[in-house]
């Protein structure tokens, strides 16, 4: 196998390179569509995982169907902690468009004007986090 500089590599070096590419390479074949957009647009602050991990924003695993502002162990803004609704695809669409219109006083700075991108993020959340968070 030829390396980036034209030198031949093989054996353990080729195997190590292949393993590294597998770890950092593109999306997994079995990953729900929209994962790359979610990672690029939301992944700095949020995660979608059945295993809790501390981030600036709450874990979005199982967000559809969950009470807003009520994920155990996450400290929400006072405004969102008082919210009286359950997350749905429509509510998430409005939230991603302008969170301050959905919950005045909320602190999420992200806004997405493109409805196609919002739909991909929401569809990813629905598929990747289909089970409710613990």
Average pLDDT of the chain, as a whole number = 81
Task: Quote the tokens at residue 56.
Answer: 């600036």
93 Cβ partners below 8 Å, 6+ apart? 115, 118, 119, 122
| CATH topology assigned to domain 32-128 | Cytochrome Bc1 Complex; Chain D, domain 2 (1.10.760)
Structure confidence at residue 79 (pLDDT): 97
**Token pair for 43:** 């992944």
* pTM attached to this predicted model: 0.74
- Residues 92-105 have pLDDT tens digits of 999 999 999 999 99
Q: What is the dihedral of CA 43, 45, 50, 54, to 10 degrees?
A: 140
Residue 34, strand partner residues: none
Q: What's the pLDDT at 30?
A: 57
Domain boundaries, the chain: 1-30, 32-128
Percent of the chain past pLDDT 70, that is, above it, reads 74
**Lookup: tokens for 63:** 């967000």
Long-range contacts made by residues 52-59, C-beta under 8 angstroms, separation at least 24? Answer: 52/133, 52/134, 57/108, 59/133
- For the cut 80, the answer to whether the pLDDT of residue 24 exceeds it is no
């Amino acid at each position: 196998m030829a390396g980036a500089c034209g030198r031949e590599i093989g054996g353990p070096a080729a195997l190590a390179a292949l393993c590294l590419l597998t770890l950092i390479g593109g999306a997994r074949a079995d990953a729900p569509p929209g994962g790359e957009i979610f990672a690029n647009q939301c992944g700095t602050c949020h995660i979608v995982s059945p295993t809790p991990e501390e981030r600036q924003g709450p874990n979005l695993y199982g967000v559809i169907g969950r009470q807003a502002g009520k994920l155990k162990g996450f400290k929400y803004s006072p405004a969102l902690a008082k919210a009286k609704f359950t997350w749905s695809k429509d509510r998430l669409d409005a939230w991603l468009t302008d969170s301050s219109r959905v919950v005045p006083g909320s602190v999420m700075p992200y806004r997405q004007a493109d409805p196609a991108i919002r739909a991909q993020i929401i569809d990813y959340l629905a598929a990747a986090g289909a089970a409710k968070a613990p």
